[in-house]
Amino acid sequence: MAEAKEQILHMEYSEVMQKSYIDYAMSVIVSRALPDVRDGLKPVQRRVLYDMHELGVKSDGPFRKSARIVGDTMGKYHPHGDSSIYESLVVMSQDFKKGMPLVDGHGNFGSIEGDGAAAMRYTEARLQKITEEAYLSDLDKNVVDFMPNFDETEKEPVVLPVRVPNILVNGAEGIAVGMATSIPTHNLSEVIDGVIAYMKNPDINTEQMMEYIPGPDFPTGGIVTNKDDLHAIYSTGVGKIKLRGKVEIEKLKGGRVAVVVTEIPYTMIGANIGKFLNDVFSLSENKLTNDIVDISNQSSKEGIRIVIELKKGADVDYFLNLLYKKTRLEDTFGVNMLAVCDGKPETLGIVPIIRHHVNFQYELATRKYTTLLAKEREKKEVQEGLIKACDVIDLIIEILRGSKSISDARDCLINGNTEHIKFKSEQSKKDAALLRFTERQAKAILEMRLYRLIGLEIEALRAQYEETMQRIADYSEILEKRSVMAKVIIKDLKNFKKSYGVERKTVIDNVAEAVVEEKPIEEIDVAVLVDRFAYARVVDMATYERNKEAAEAECKKIIFCKNVDKIFAFTENGQQFMIKVLDLPFGKFRDKGLPVDNVSKFDASQDHILFMDAMPNLLGRKLVFATKSGMIKLVAGEEFDVTRRQSQATKLNDKDSVLCVGLLEADDTLVMQTKNNFFLRIDAATIPEKKKPAVGVRGMKLDPKDEMVAVYLLHSCDDTAAEVKGKKVLLKNLHIGNRDTKGVKR
- Residues annotated as catalytic (active site), given as ranges: 122
Which amino acid is residue 626, in one-letter code?
A
By C-alpha distance, which of 641, 459, 463, 671 is closest to 566? 641
Which amino acid is residue 566, in one-letter code?
K
Alpha-carbon separation of residue 171 from 101, 188, 339, 353 (angstroms): 11, 11, 11, 12
d(CA 81, CA 365): 36
d(CA 481, CA 485): 7
Is the CB of residue 739 less than 8 Å from the CB of residue 687? yes
By C-alpha distance, which of 67, 81, 72, 66 is closest to 47? 72
Residues in the chain: 746
Which amino acid is residue 109, in one-letter code?
F
Half-sphere exposure of 585 (CA within 13 A, CB side): 16
d(CA 163, CA 496): 9
Write the CB contacts of 323 (distance below 8 Å, at least 6 apart in sequence): 247, 259, 280, 283, 329, 330
Phi, psi of 274 (to 5 degrees): -60, -40
Structural Rg of the chain based on CA atoms: 43
Helices and strands per DSSP (H, E), number in the chain: 21, 35
Torsion of CA 264, 265, 267, 271, to 10 degrees: -10
Partners of 172 in the beta sheet? 183
Environment class of 480 (CB within 10 Å of its CB; exposed 0-12, middle 13-18, buried 19+): exposed
Alpha-carbon separation of residue 222 from 170, 303, 304, 331, 682 (angstroms): 17, 13, 11, 11, 72
d(CA 117, CA 698): 69
**Exposure string for 580-615, b = 16+ CB within 10 A, e = fewer:** ebebbbbeebeeebbebeebbebeeeebebbbbbbb
Angle (CA) 665 666 669, round 5°: 80
